Amino acid sequence: MRLSTQGFFTASLAAMQSQAAELAKLLNQVGLGRRVNSPADDPIASVHIRELERAQSESEQIAKNSVLIRNRLNLEEQALADAGTILTRVRELTGKAANIGTLSDADRRSIATELDSRLSELLDLANRQDGAGEYLFAGFSTLTKPFTGGGDAPIVYAGDQGSRLIQIGPAQRLADSHSGFDVFVDIPEGNGVFATSANAANTGSGVIHPGSVVDRPSWVPDDYTVVFTAADAWEVRDSATPQNVVASGAYVSGAPIEFNGVRIEISGQPAVNDEFTVSRSRSKDIFTTVRDLAQALRDTAETPAGAARLATALEGAMQQVDQASEHLISVRSQVGARLSALDTADSARESRDVDIASALSELRDVDYAEALMKMNQRLVGLQAAQLSYSQISQLSLFSYLR
Amino acid sequence: MADLLNTSISGLLAFQRALDTTSHNITNANTPGYSRQITEFMTRQAHPSGAGWVGAGVDVSTVTRAYDDFLAGQARNSSSAFHRADAYATQAERVSNLLGDSSTGLSASLQEFVNALQSVADTPTSTAARQTLLSQAQILVDRLQGYQDSLASFEAQVNSSMRTQADAVSSIASAIAQLNQEISSGYARTRQPPNDLLDQRDRLLDQLATYVSVSVVAQEDGSVNVSIGAGQPLVVGQHASRVVATGDPYDPTRMIVAVQSQHGLADITRSISGGTLGGMLDFRGQMLDPARNALGRMSVGLAEIMNEQHRAGMNLNGVMGGDFFSVGEVGVRLHAGNSGTATLDATRIPGAAGALTTSDYVMTWTASGWSLQRADTGASVSMTGSGTVADPFVADGLSLVVSGAPALGDRILIQPTAWAAAGMDVLVSSPNEIAAAAPIVAGAAAGNAGSGVISPGEVLDPTHPQLRSAVAITFTSPTQYTVGSDPTVHTYVPGQNIEVNGWRVQITGSPAAGDSFSVRDNVSGLGDNRNALALADALSRPVLNGGTTSLSAASGQFVSELGVKTNQAQVTRDAQKVVADEAAASLQSVAGVNLDEEAANLLRYQQAYMAIAQMIRVADTIFQSVLEATRR
């Protein structure tokens, strides 16, 4: 084929330019360490890169969330542990006060005084705040003091039953708290099925013991009254109007009284018309329990009726303190379960981070060995083109026309 | 002997002419567009004699140029195609480098925004976290608007480049018309080809082909007729049309290409193809417009998702949240040639962002009423409704209300998303106004005997007047419940939705008779993060494109589409470059000057010249011999 002189120059120049352009591109890749610098370099990879970078950013946020929720759960755990310690002390004091024969009214009053200070300790703990000033046990109402009252006023819960969820994985959320309602308020009364108590106006020395459930399916939830129609006869009445007699029998001190699947015991000598109640279990908050106990200890026990009231109150309180402790333990175990779920989520996240980073590097980063080898090739190619151009361009017939 | 001298002189003259041509070739070896010229020799008419025909020497019949119209046409076509691909690819590269950078990218900003939302969910009472969310929202809006601005500046560059190129096309056209005249008169005068003028004209045609695709038809008088694009005549004989870039009849700031004639301007934008002008138009139509609309659709989606969920929440002041983002309106532009008075009110249907497309539409008044077409493909789009305020036209997520009296053929351009990003703003100004909490809170009564658990509750209708009123759900038996003071007894199904006063809760487990649950105002629930979490969830839900694409997927797609288009454009450019280089080389191999060849010709003609000079010497010697012989 004929080759024009201009065509030869143009073609040689174009060849050198394209070599140089490829070289510049490789140099740019090596310089930045990135294989994909523009979406046009590899559109598919660039979508993946973007998605992975998004996942990385999401993961960073989740890591922050995780630190935060761990901190909150640890605070709650600490508060629950402290509450457990206080309850243990309350139980000790209750046991101490139960020695009715050896303690005087004054002795019991001093126990009551200590209980008062335990109560205010418990109240402070339930109103504990985190570093940011948010109440730990207020549900969603974290800026509202959840438990108000104290002293002579009853302690009431002003929070709600919410608990915040925090994102701890791409599709996993975990509650960061329990509400005060869940922890301190919603504690089952009595044995969880029914609770016993004595009428404050009783004049006899009858003491009602906590009792137990013997046949759960037969239990009909209601508030029952055990009425002594005579010193040696009792009737169990329900709460309907007019009241129905559910069971009746002859009284023997300490002998079990059974009706509707439950068994209670009354000991001592009740007077005629003395009343005891067997009511369906509701809830009793931890503060009322301690408060009622302190109150009972302040009353005199130096009459038979007073001693009986105190004995009933102490037995009931002992049971209620145990209920509260168990309840706190179950809440604490939930916190423990959340912390362990958080550990699992954290380690899953960490391993996912490693996966993302390696996938990202594979897609985005330049393989230096390969890039340098290609660069070398291009360099050799460019040098060859330059050399052959300078050699061939000197060939001209005119050189010989002298 | 006179014949011998005459013959020799004819040779001397012919080879002088040949040497002239060779030196012309050598001196023009580097002149762009120059075609090598060839001196054609022809024997002179021989003299008859008794002994036969005696040769009388040589004549130069013509000087032709080595040129191949077919190869030249191929070179021009492939150059048009290459310049189109090159202009497109060059612009596309700039766009995707600018918008595709991952550190400043859209998906990064979107994720930062979601992260800030998560931080608010972590500590809803923290003003710092709320302030960060507002800043991130502003950054996101700035990013969307920055993209929109970049696309607008690219469009401005396309506009100004169209103007320059239209001017160039016009001036080339008039130069070709001028040359047509000179060439045809040159032919008529000499009956010989005016080679250098032909080269000049071919070079102008080559230049024209870099702007727009051309087709050339040669005429008998040596002139050429030139048409551009899809057959639009540009030069006819000695008359050239004027091509101008002028304002679009819908939007004067957007350029179209038109031809000026005695009837006024005729829009030829759609028939333009090839060349840098075609490449620019392709870039605008295939890359800029869809990108701008996709960006707008994302903005609409973002605003709609956020606004809807944000209105369902309660802010730190205890009141319901308002709209979070505003977006630009639907663009409505009347055609400049409309003779009727029809106007259009177009709005996006709330909650129908999924039905929006990235297309623009043209609504035309026809004999059978209003009809709607997609602006890019011309495909017809069906509408429901009658176009009145009470019963608007509804199509692709738009609600269209027409008023006024249209004239036949009146057209209105509708741009559903084009201006959405430009008009975007953050409407929440104070950190307290971020609605991170839900307005209601559900709970169980203390001492419930059963194991029933109530869900936290969600808002269905944020505008319900009783939304935040306290309502008790009381179980009259383990399987029946009543709601509030309404005596109607409902049958309990665990997990079933209970919907009252614009909210919804579920109760699960086994409640006992006498158990009760309450749903009440969450006015003190400042630490509540339920709505913040719902906002984060909503942002990851697929809402766009008929409910198939989430915002983050859409932002990824936005960039990947730019990448794919750029990549295609680069591949096309590289392929077209090879074709164009090949075609140019083929033409060069015929028309180009080879200096070695010219050196050889120089030698050849020089030697012939010297030989003829020797002939004259011989003639002289012969003549002297005859003189010598007759002196005695």
φ and ψ of A212, to 5 deg: -150, 165
Question: Quick one: average pLDDT of B33-41?
Answer: 93
Specify which residues B595 forms β-bridges with: none
Give the closest-approach CA distance of A309 to chain B in angstroms: 25
What percent of chain B is predicted at pLDDT more than 90? 72
Tokens, residue B19? 């040497």
Mutate to test the interface with B, among A75, A140, A166 (most CBs of B within 10 A): A140
Compute the CA torsion angle B452, B456, B462, B466 (nearest 10 deg). 40
By CB neighbour count within 10 A (0-12 exposed, 13-18 middle, 19+ buried), where does B189 fall?
A: exposed
Residue from the list B449, B513, B525 with its beta carbon closest to the beta carbon of A141: B525
Measured in angstroms, the CA of B583 and the nearest CA of chain A are apart by 12
d(CA B1, CA B616): 10
What is the C-alpha to C-alpha distance for residues B504 and B438, in angstroms, rounded to an integer? 12
Q: Report helix, strand or coil for A382.
A: helix
Of B29, B533, B595, the CB nearest to A165: B533
Q: What is the DSSP letter of B270?
A: G
Q: B446-463 b/e with 16+ CB inside 10 Å = b? A: bbbbbebebebbbbeebe
User: What pLDDT, on a 0 to 100 scale, did the predictor assign at position B506?
Assistant: 94
Nearest C-alpha of chain A: how many angstroms from B30? 6
The whole-angstrom distance between A224's CA and the closest CA on chain B is: 16
Query: CA–CA separation, B160 vs B599, rounded Å?
Result: 48
Mean pLDDT of the A248-275 span: 91
What is the DSSP-derived secondary structure letter of residue B196?
H
Mean pLDDT confidence for B259-280: 88
In this predicted structure, the answer to whether residue A35 has a pLDDT above a threshold of 90 is no
Set of chain B residues whose Cβ sits within 8 Å of the Cβ of A160: 441, 443, 522, 524-525
Contact A29, A375 (CB under 8 A): no
Interface list for A 150-209 with B (CB within 8 A): 158-162, 164-167, 173, 181, 185-186, 188-189
CB contacts, 8 Å: A57 with chain B: 108, 111-112, 115
Helix (H, G, I), strand (E, B) or coil at B470: coil
Matching residue, tokens 């109530």: B454
Q: How many residues does chain B have?
A: 632
Nearest chain A Cα distance for residue B370, angstroms = 41
pLDDT level of residue B102 (50, 70, 90 thresholds): low
- Helix, strand, coil content of chain A in percent (nearest 5): 55, 15, 30
Contact criterion met (CB < 8 Å) for B442 and A50: no
- CB under 8 Å to B175, separation ≥6 — which residues? B204
DSSP A187: -
Q: Which residues contact A4 (CB under 8 A, 6 or more apart)?
A: B36, B588, B589, B591, B592, B593, B594
With bands split at pLDDT 50, 70 and 90, how would you rate the model's confidence at B447? confident
Q: Which residue of B has its CA nearest to A9?
A: B30
- The DSSP code for B492 is P
Q: What sign results for the dihedral spanned by CA atoms A325, A327, A333, A338?
A: negative
Residues with Cβ within 8 Å of B230's Cβ and at least 6 positions away in sequence, in order, are B271, B273
Q: What is the C-alpha separation between B350 and B543, in angstroms, rounded?
A: 13
- Which residues of chain B are within 8 Å of residue A10 when distances are taken between CB atoms? 588
The DSSP bridge partners found for residue B371 are B364
Residue B606 identity (one-letter amino acid)? Q
Which residue does chain B place closest to A135, by CA atoms?
B527
Contact A3 B114 (CB under 8 A): no
Contact residues on chain B for A46, CB-CB shorter than 8 A: 100, 102, 559-560, 563
- B-chain CB neighbours of A139 within 8 Å are 441, 525, 527
d(CA B159, CA B156): 5
By C-alpha distance, which of B195, B189, B233 is closest to B214? B233
Residue from A46, A189, A285 to probe the interface with B (highest B Cβ count within 10 Å): A46
Which of B559, B566, B594 minimises the CB distance to A2?
B594
pLDDT at B547: 86
Among the partner-chain residues A68, A280, A396, the one whose CB lies closest to the CB of B449 is A280
Please name the residue of chain B whose CA is at the shortest distance from the CA of residue A130.
Answer: B123
Q: How far is B387 from chain A (nearest CA, A)?
A: 42
- Which tens digits make up the pLDDT trace of B351-378? 888 899 999 999 999 999 999 999 888 8
CA dihedral B250, B253, B255, B259 (to 10 degrees): 70
Is the preceding peptide bond at A242 cis, omega within 30 degrees of 0? yes
Of A197, A209, A198, residue with least CA distance to A274: A198
Closest CB from A1, A6, A46 relative to B560: A46
Of the candidates B108, B562, B589, the beta carbon closest to that of A3 is on B589
Mean pLDDT (chain A) is 90
Pick the residue from chain A with its C-alpha nearest to B582: A11
Torsions phi, psi for B593 (to 5 deg)? -85, 130
Give the number of C-alpha atoms closer than 13 A to the C-alpha of residue B498, restricted to the C-beta side.
Answer: 28
Distance (Å, rounded) from C-alpha A245 to C-alpha A262? 15
Structure tokens at A59: 């993961």
Residue A175 CB burial class (10 angstroms; 0-12, 13-18, ≥19): middle
Contacts of A361 (CB under 8 A, 6+ apart): none
Interface of A with B in 317-376 (CB under 8 A): none
A54 CB near a chain B CB, below 8 Å? yes
Q: Is the pLDDT of residue A301 over 80?
A: no
A50 touches chain B (CB under 8 A): yes
Contact between residue B457 and residue B440 where contact means Cβ atoms under 8 Å apart: yes
Q: Is A282 on the interface with B (CB under 8 A)?
A: yes
Q: Is the pLDDT of residue A100 over 80?
A: no
Distance CA A56, CA A64 (A): 13
B449 band by pLDDT with thresholds 50, 70 and 90? confident
Q: Taking Cα atoms as reference points, which of B524, B480, B151 lies closest to residue B318? A: B524
| CB < 8 Å to B436, chain A | none
CATH architecture of A34-188+284-365: Up-down Bundle (1.20)
Do A185 and B556 make contact, defined as CB atoms within 8 angstroms?
no
Q: Which residue of A has its CA nearest to B517?
A: A161
Write the single-letter amino acid at B537.
Answer: D
**CA A175 to CA B476: how far, in whole Å?**
31
Let me know: does B471 contact B518? Beta carbons within 8 Å: yes
In 3D, which of B411, B437, B391 has the Cα closest to residue B334?
B411
> How far is the C-alpha of A187 from the C-alpha of A190, rounded, in Å?
9
Choose from A25, A51, A57, A164 for mutation: most chain B CBs within 10 A. A164
Where are any strands of DSSP class E within B177-263? Answer: 214-218, 224-228, 232-236, 239-240, 242-247, 255-261
Say if the Cβ atoms of A46 and B525 lie within 8 Å. Answer: no
Partner-chain contact A50 B446, CB within 8 Å: no
Rg (CA), chain A: 41
**Is the pLDDT assigned to residue B2 strictly greater than 60?**
no
Rounded Cα gap, residues B162 and B155, in angstroms:
10
Which amino acid, residue B27? Answer: T
Q: Do B589 and A1 touch (CB under 8 A)?
A: yes
Q: Report d(CA B477, CA B398) in Å as an integer.
A: 51
Q: CA dihedral defined by B465, B470, B476, B477, rounded to 10 degrees?
A: 100
**Cβ atoms of residues A144 and A158 within 8 Å:** yes
Looking at residue B332, its pLDDT comes to 94
Identify the three-state secondary structure at position A34.
strand
List CB contacts (< 8 A) between A161 and chain B: 441-444
d(CA B345, CA B331) in angstroms, rounded, equals 10
For residue B32, the distance in angstroms to the closest alpha carbon of chain A comes to 9
Inter-residue contact B500 to B471 (CB < 8 Å)? yes
The alpha carbon of residue B343 and the mean position of all alpha carbons in its chain are separated, in whole angstroms, by 29
Across the strands, what pairs with B361?
Answer: B374, B414
Please indicate whether, in this complex, the C-beta atoms of B525 and A140 are within 8 angstroms of each other: yes
Residues of A in contact with B600 (CB under 8 A): 397
Please write the tens of the pLDDT for every residue from B137-161: 999 999 999 999 999 999 999 999 9
B596-604 average pLDDT score: 92
The pLDDT assigned to B1 comes to 47
Q: Please state, in angstroms and rounded to a whole number, the distance separating the CA atoms of residues B100 and B110.
A: 14
Phi, psi of B233 (to 5 degrees): -65, 135
B37 vs B62: CA distance, rounded Å: 10
Give the C-alpha separation, B602 to A398, whole Å: 10
Comparing CB atoms, the residue among A14, A143, A280 nearest residue B526 is: A143
Of the candidates B456, B581, B595, the beta carbon closest to that of A162 is on: B456
| B-interface mutation test, from A10, A28, A47, most B Cβ less than 10 A away | A47
Three-state secondary structure along B354-414?
Answer: HHCCCCCEEEEEECCEEEEEECCCCCEECCECCCCCCCCEEECCEEEEEECCCCCCCEEEE
Residues of B with CB below 8 A from A281's CB? 447, 449
Pairing of strands B232-236, B239-240: antiparallel
Asked if B300 and B113 count as a contact pair (C-beta separation under 8 A), the reply is no
Spell out which residues of chain B touch residue A4, defining contact as CB-CB under 8 Å.
36, 588-589, 591-594
Q: Contact B393/B386 with Cβ under 8 angstroms?
A: yes
Domain locations in chain A as residue ranges? 34-188+284-365, 196-282
- What is the least distance, in Å, from the CA of B240 to any CA of chain A? 32
Using an 8 Å Cβ cutoff, are A223 and A239 in contact? yes
Residues with Cβ within 8 Å of A396's Cβ and at least 6 positions away in sequence, in order, are: B595, B596, B599
Asked if A145 has any chain B CB less than 8 Å from its own CB, the reply is no
